Amino acid sequence: MSSSNPIGASLVKDILRRFSEIPTLTLAKKLYANNPEVWTSLESCRSHLRNFRGNNGKTARDGIKNREFYRANGKPQDPTKLPTSYKRKWEPYILEGKKVGIINDVHVPFHCNVALKAALDYLKKRKVDVILLNGDTIDFYQLSRFEKDPRERNTHHEIKATKQFLDYLAEKFPKTKIIWKDGNHDERYQSFLRCKAPELLDIPEFRFPVLMDFENRGIDYVTEKQLIQIEDLTILHGHEYATPLIGPVNAARGLFLRAKSCALVGHHHQTSEHTESTIQGKMITTWSLGCLCDLHPRYMPINKWGHGFAVVERGSGWFEVDNKRILNGKVL
């Protein structure tokens, strides 16, 4: 059945993975209603589902090689007798490269061209082999849940401007690996789809990495609040923690109190560093990076932000962070 109807097989596998506990007839009705051209009848669709679940008789069941969806006596096989777990695999993205340029909080199209150019020119001189866009590269102003001015740049303009920025990066760093990590602003797109247009979530063309053409651009995509690891240094955007890191001192110290490990963060638009030693004499340092966006946006014109970025060099078992500030277009 699956070999003669590959489209149907793909649809069946997808729905069985997402709704393993739903009765076959219910799934068949949903599948057939949404894809009437794939099967000749509702019963044909139901039979296809039953075949994958091993419920089309002993002969058909004996021929099943992949038993991922097999159901003995109409129920999923689970020798533990425990309920189906929705636990997901959550591991850090291991970043390769000896010299990594990290920029975050560009907030296209509310970026600062002077600061952005200064940072990229510096990274070019340092000959970085990886550039990590560490969150909030695009602003998605109109998709925000907060009050916004309808006269500001629309979403189409933001996407077009961000692609222009990615093209600029590719031209300036033709041999450099580019990694995109989602920040809270980047995630506004997916949040908008989930809340306002859930019907579009399963359409590949509406997925964010497809929309931004990451695959053809050779850009690695890090999402779902996944951490990034360089040796013993953990990199995050900053929104991964449910509450802000900024305390009575600075974002780096707030990060230290949460992470208790060497870590680097953006999100707070501030350049800071904090170091403490453990009782065993191990040194732990945390860093927060400045931003590359407008320092006086309408929603918060008075703040303590600053422009900045970082370079991380690594070797076998060691790393070094060079946390840079930018003042009046000059890298300090």
Which fold is adopted by the domain 93-331? Answer: Purple Acid Phosphatase; chain A, domain 2 (3.60.21)
Please give the DSSP secondary-structure letter assigned to residue 61.
H
- Give the burial class of 1: count Cβ atoms within 10 A of its Cβ; 0-12 exposed, 13-18 middle, 19 or more buried: middle
What string of H, E and C letters represents the secondary structure of 97-150? CCEEEEECCCCECCECHHHHHHHHHHHHHCCCCEEEEECCCECCHHHCCCCCCC
89-103, 196-210, 239-253, 306-320 — which is least confidently predicted?
239-253
Q: What percent of the chain has pLDDT over 70?
A: 90
- For residue 40, give both structure tokens: 């000749």
Is 306's pLDDT higher than 70? yes
Cα within 13 Å of Cα(66), Cβ side: 7
- Give the burial class of 192: count Cβ atoms within 10 A of its Cβ; 0-12 exposed, 13-18 middle, 19 or more buried: middle
How do residues 248-283 score in pLDDT, each as one tens digit?
679 999 999 999 999 999 999 999 999 999 999 999
**Nearest Cα residue to 237 out of 217, 249, 222:** 222
Which pLDDT band, with edges at 50, 70 and 90, does 14 fall under?
A: confident
Helix/strand/coil for 91: coil
267 phi, psi to nearest 5 deg: 75, -40
Whether the CB-CB separation of 321 and 312 falls below 8 Å is answered with yes
Side chain identity at residue 205, one-letter code: E
Measured from the Cβ of residue 11, the count of other Cβ atoms closer than 10 Å reads 19
219 phi, psi to nearest 5 deg: -100, 130
How do residues 114-168 score in pLDDT, each as one tens digit?
999 999 999 999 999 999 999 999 999 999 888 777 777 789 999 999 999 999 9
How do residues 28-75 score in pLDDT, each as one tens digit?
888 888 888 888 899 989 888 888 887 766 655 555 555 666 654 445
What does the alpha-carbon distance between residue 261 and residue 119 come to, in Å, rounded to a whole number?
Answer: 27
